[in-house]
Amino acid sequence: MPIKSRIRTIPNYPRHGIMFRDITTLLKDPCGLYTTIQEIAGRYDSVTIDKVAGIESRGFIIGAPVAYQLGKGFVPIRKQNKLPAETLGKDYQLEYGSDRIEIHRDAIQPGDQILLIDDLIATGGTAEAAAGLIEDMGGEIVECCFVIDLPDVGGRARLEKLGHRVFALCEFDGE
């Protein structure tokens, strides 16, 4: 079952000219969700991973079941002021401004091997900031994993230029 066939495209959302790739149609399909988790977890079965980190919020939906399947812990990387304990944060640039993500200071130990997961890689700004947080804590990124890659937008190349391995289950051309 091709994962790509289960992902809905919504033209001109959130603004004109954008082709929004909506994974809710993949998530509501039991076979689509099962296949997504199995394909990702299967890729890392024989890889040394200590924890799976997911980027808010769809990275939680994919990352937590992957962590469970692998028998590893899950670390949420959240938007600013959403985590209750002491955090470490990193600002990153958006197309029209900036944002900040945070992680609990005790979530990752030096030397931890981390699989970073999100639903989609576009410009790569959020994933770069998340990887930076993990590395600032002494963690090592095993790979950055996504359900969808938008290669024309350049996020994969951005992460690879920083030395990160990148994997995606499928690609969509254009934005």
Please list the active-site residues.
Answer: 58, 95
Contact 143, 123 (CB under 8 A): no
Measured distance CA(61)–CA(120) in Å, rounded: 12
Cis amide bond preceding 98, omega within 30: no
8 Å CB contact between 61 and 119: yes
Q: Which of 117, 128, 61 is nearest to 92 (CA)?
A: 128
> Whose CA is closest to 136, among 144, 128, 126?
128
